[in-house]
Structure 1
Amino acid sequence: MSIKQIKISVEDITMGMYVSCLDRPWSQTPFPIQGLLVKSPKEISSLRNYCDYVYIDVTKGLSPIEGTATFNQSKSAGRKVSSGFVSKGLGSAADVTEVSPIEVKRGVYRQQVSLASEVEHAEKALLQLRGQFTLAAKQIVKGREFDYQGLKDSVADMVNSVVRCPDAFTWLLRLRLKDQHSHDHSMRSALWAVQFARFVGMPKDQMSVLCLGTLLKDIGKIKLPNALLRKKKRTPEEVAEYQKFVEYGVEMLRSSNVEPRVVSVVRFHCERHDGTGFPEGLRGGKIPLLARIAGIATTYDAISNPREAEEPVAPSRAVSLLYNLRDKKFQDDLVVQFIQSIGLYPTGTLVELTTGDVGIVVEQHAESRLTPKVAVLDQQKAQASGAYILVDLKDEDLSRRILEKSGRSKAKSVSKLAIARDLDLSGYDVDIAAVSSIFMKSAQMVLETAVSDSVGDETPVRQGGFYANIRDRFRL
């Protein structure tokens, strides 16, 4: 039997190798998912900073025997290679225009308020935006002038809310938007795009353009037959007809005097890095940056909220599918930064802890997205107390003590208290909209502790309204 995986020192890693396993959990490194095709010196440096040895899969990349990849900062075979290197067995999309890495400015926007205090402001902003968006769409379809400034003002309110506390809008979108798919999809996609823009420190005026363009990206679909929109499998002729929605949308927005920067997002959001997009088949750097971001946000939402599925796929599965599209459909570093911006476990995700407890992610830490705040569902005592327990996984020691205090003995024995996996909602009888509604209305998401003078232990405040209201809906 041939050897597929080889253990090597991190000092022997070269570009073109596929790292399949580390000497530590992937969650303790900056890499968003398991498995890495090494394509840059930065990735090699990062692996060396975190690991002593790794395992490489020689069926998916270079082996030590094949030698190292070579840098090529100039042209190779008559064209520039956007990733900056050439390697045996590694290809690059032909004629892809070189793209510049996204400029990331850390610390530009820090969470200014708590989720609990932002909810009321976010709800007002969402309702206002939803109303303006719905009215604008109706007016645009009829070829009439619409209150573009009013829509821009509503978008600015959304941007400001996301800047203050990104999780509030995420919860509200899970809760409020229950109507037609295209409307929900546009609103969610805009949220993912703005969250990404916040994460990389994009100026607010660009955030607003990105948000407006992503909101309006599907406006042209109103001119397509409903049967064509709903059809799962389209003939080549039907595909060509469907793709005209971009052209229709651009025409409608131009006639409504929407600013060119917004129209540009709509026009190019379906273009793809490898040239397989539409309507113009642009490649790489020829696609405007904001349109590239809108394309990623749109695709992520389509994956995690498929039109015909009763329930979306688990977030980690959506992230994995998106990650596999890097350097193909989308620019590599944009995909990686986007995944880091939303995290593996977005707000509202149903998760299982390493203790076996089930909970819901209620708030994230911008700099530590693998250790969010989780409302652990108190299943055993729900009938008696209707309680849940709020733990902050960023403070592992305190979270252990809180869970131990509540009678969860496994909290003491597990080597690492963390999220073990996210759960596919289709496998659980839980109404996430009802859960989020109850949580947002009743929970004060502040972890309080009572310190015993004699023992010195912490006792969590367990708020009864949350689980008491959902216990009839949640049956595991």
Structure 2
Amino acid sequence: MSIKQIKIRADDITIGMFVSCLDRPWSQTPFPIQGLLVKSPKEITALRHYCDHVFIDVTKGASPIGAPVSEGYISQAGQGKKIISSLVKAQAGIAEKSDVTPIEVRHNVYTEVVPLSSEVEHAEKALLQLRGQFTLAAKQIAKGRDFDYQQLKDAVADMVNSVVRCPDAFTWLLRLRLKDQQTHDHSMRAALWAVQFARFIGMPKGDMSVLCLGTLLKDIGKVKLPNGLLRKKRRTPEEAAEYQKFVEYGVEMLRASKSVEPRVISVVRYHCERFDGSGFPEGILGGKIPLLARIAGIATTYDAISNPLESEEPVAPSRAVSLLYNMRDKKFQDDLVVQFIQSIGLYPTGTLVELTTGDVGVVVEQHAQSRLTPKVAVFNQKKAKASGEYILLDLKDEEQSRRELVKSGIAKASSVSKLAIARDLEISGYDVDIPAVSSIFMKNTSRILDTTLSGSQDGESGPTVKSGLLSGLRDRFRL
């Protein structure tokens, strides 16, 4: 059946319609990917907030008043209203078979967020402690020895508390310090994504710690596999079956320790199972997979997409989000995927982005309630290395950001209709030393903040450019 699009006013959107196109780029809205089946009044409110009109595909969803209705719909008093229950069955048949309970989301549970500048030092200590304890535990488990599980739990608790206070701090540190592709680094990144998601939906801290521990330990059984098998990119069916045994090995090793809680082992046991039954080792599906294991599976997959072993550089975040979004109702539960994407945002901390002015920058901090308008460090690629011309914009305050760019000589900032992120970029295509920029930023954030609050040293109200990257950053970053 061919696509048939109809343009309607945003005020006329109803539940059951499939929105195929907006009157603005999808990247300027909270929706993670092109194409949206409207399922709730909340989605209608968001569409009306961001759009004046939209295009709907009547072959995939409900038709507007007076328009023809497609197969699967019936006319009700000639108005073309959809039988919503039939669409839900068609779109979520797997969930229906598995009796999956929608995830409970409690927003605004963790409302007190400290600034990045205040949390970086605490996060760095927590990261070093966690990495040390995890590395030690992994070595001891691999040798069949007892390990200090309580110390690992304490390190995880420090990480959870740091993420609750300021998710961006840990994200920065992991992006900068754990750049190699070793298994334990992947596990730490996946644990971070899982905990960030758990924080976003208001999960109790105790459950967060279980989730974090399970995600950290999920690959521990790989120590029993040959290195050649682990590193091989393409495995034969026989090799794949042998590889998949790492889950069973991990469960056995953790059970032998006699100190790891059953709920943690459950995450390890089921994190490779998939919503449609295509996972391993048992091939169970839907609601039979424990919730924490479902979350660990999503976090693990997202990190694998963002940091693929097959490539020297990760894909852009929006591409990773798009790939993950396409797995909903297949590999993963629909609402879990949507909420996970909302929790990390389209532009996670450390993402290289291009503004509507054409300028390139790095996302340095996010606003929990406004993830499309983060703080961005914008720089001039031709001058940055020589003069350190960087400026921090808070895109949530669009007009102030415009003024800052104009002051810096970017005249186009005054003429674009909307100052915003136009797209994210793959780092490999740009000569930008993000670790150098961001590490200097984090190390000097407190000093920069003090300088900004007290005014510049020479008494001028505007930023001045000094020679050298460090002095340039001290003057040009605005918090």
Shift of 1:120: 1.0
Q: Which of 23-32 and 272-281 deviates more?
A: 23-32
1:79 match = none
CA distance 1:26–1:380, change in 2 (3 Å):
same
Which structure 2 residues correspond to residues 324-363 of structure 1 after superposition, within 5 A? 324-363=326-365
Secondary structure at the residue paired with 2:277? coil
CA shift for structure 1 position 62: 6.3
CA 1:184 to 1:432, structure 2 compared with 1: closer, same or farther past 3 Å? farther
User: Corresponding residue for 2:189?
Assistant: 188
The CA deviation at 1:340 is: 0.9
Contact (CA 8 Å) 1:209, 1:261: kept in 2 or not?
yes
**Aligned CA distance change for structure 1 residues 177 and 415 (closer, same or farther; 3 Å):** same
Secondary structure at the counterpart of residue 459 of structure 1: coil
Give the deviation of 1:226 after TM superposition: 1.2
The 3-state SS of whatever aligns with 2:369 is coil
1:241 Cα deviation after fit: 1.0
Identify unmatched segments of 5+ residues in structure 1: 77-83, 471-476
Please name the residue that 1:473 is paired with. Answer: none
SS of 1:371's equivalent? strand
Find the residue that maps to 1:153 and give its secondary structure: helix
Please give the alpha-carbon distance, in whole angstroms, between the structure 2 residues aligned to 1:133 and 1:270: 21
Alignment correspondent of 2:134:
133
Does 2:89 match 1:86? yes
Match of 1:65 in 2: 69
Contact 1:450 1:459 (C-alpha < 8 Å) held by counterparts = no
- The residue that corresponds to 2:162 in the other structure is 161
Residue identity in the other structure for 1:285: G
| Kept after mapping to 1: 8 A contact 2:387/2:472 | no
Contact 2:95/2:287 (<8 A) preserved: no
Higher helix fraction (1 or 2): 2
Mean Cα deviation higher: 341-350 or 277-286: 277-286
2:432 maps to which residue?
430
The answer to whether the Cα contact below 8 Å between 1:388 and 1:462 also exists between their aligned partners in 2 is: no
Q: Secondary structure at the match of 2:197?
A: helix
* Aligned match of 1:197: 198
Q: Is contact 1:15-1:41 (8 Å) kept?
A: yes
1-structure distance, mates of 2:22, 2:389: 39
C-alpha deviation, 1:443, in angstroms: 4.0
Deviation per CA, 1:205-227: give whole Å up to 9, x if none: 11110000000000011111111
Residue 441 of structure 2 corresponds to residue 439 of structure 1? yes
Deviation at 1:384, TM superposition (A): 5.8
Give 1:298's aligned residue. Answer: 300
Q: Are the counterparts in 2 of residues 351 and 359 from structure 1 also a CA contact under 8 Å?
A: yes
CA separation in 1, counterparts of 2:396 and 2:52? 25
**What are the residue-to-residue correspondences of 1:373-384 with 2, within 5 Å?**
373-382=375-384
The answer to whether the 8 Å contact 2:374/2:396 transfers is yes
Distance apart, 1:26 and its partner CA: 3.2
Q: 1:407 to 1:202 in 2, by over 3 A?
A: same
Shift of 1:429: 2.3
Paired residue secondary structure (1:307): coil
SS in 1 for 2:93: coil
Q: 1:353-396: CA deviations, max 9, x gaps?
A: 11111111111111111111111113354366323111100111
Which residue of structure 1 lines up, in the alignment, with residue 274 of structure 2? 272
State the distance in 1 between where 2:92 and 2:200 align. Answer: 31
8 Å Cα contact 1:443-1:463 kept in structure 2: no
> 1:137 and 1:461, CA in 2 relative to 1: closer, same or farther beyond 3 A?
farther
Q: Which residue in the other structure is 1:8 paired with?
A: 8
Letter in 2 for 1:459: G
Counterpart position of 1:147: 148
1:19 alignment counterpart:
19
What is the identity percentage for the equivalent residue pairs of Structure 1 and Structure 2?
Answer: 77
**1:331 Cα shift?**
0.9
- Displacement of 1:163 in angstroms is 0.9
Aligned counterparts of 2:61 and 2:257: Cα–Cα separation in 1: 51
Whether the aligned pair in 1 keeps the contact of 2:379 and 2:390 (CA below 8 Å) is yes
Q: How many Å apart are 1:46 and its aligned residue?
A: 4.7
Paired residues of 2:19 and 2:55 also in contact (CA < 8 A): yes
Q: TM-score, normalised by structure 1?
A: 0.87
State the AA in 1 paired with 2:88.
F
Given the alignment of the two structures, is residue 116 of structure 1 paired with residue 113 of structure 2, yes or no? no
Amino acid in structure 2 at the alignment position of 1:408: I
Cα–Cα, structure 1 residues 448 and 400, in superposed 2: closer, same or farther, change >3 Å?
Answer: farther
Contact 1:69 1:85 in 2 (8 A): no
CA contact (8 A) 1:355 1:414 kept: yes
Change (3 A) 1:12 1:112: closer
RMSD of the alignment, in Å? 2.8
Residue identity opposite 1:166 in structure 2 = P
Alignment partner, residue 221 of structure 1: 222
Q: Is residue 96–residue 283 contact of structure 1 (8 Å, CA) maintained in 2?
A: no
* CA displacement, residues 126-153 of structure 1 (integer Å, 9 cap, x when unaligned): 0010000000001111111000000000
Residues 175 and 451 (structure 1 numbering): CA distance in 2 closer, same or farther, change over 3 Å? closer
Partner of 1:97: 98
1:201–1:139 Cα change, 3 Å: same
Residue number in structure 2 paired with 1:54: 54
TM-score for the superposition, normalised by structure 2: 0.87
State the secondary structure of the residue aligned to 1:312.
Answer: coil
Unaligned runs of 5+ in 2: 74-80, 474-479
Partner Cα distance (2:183, 2:56) in 1: 42
Is this contact kept in 1: 2:95–2:286, CA < 8 A? no
What one-letter code is carried by the residue in structure 2 that aligns with 1:417?
Answer: L
**Number of residue equivalences:** 454
Partners of 2:379 and 2:84 in 1: CA distance:
52
Equivalent position SS for 1:364? strand
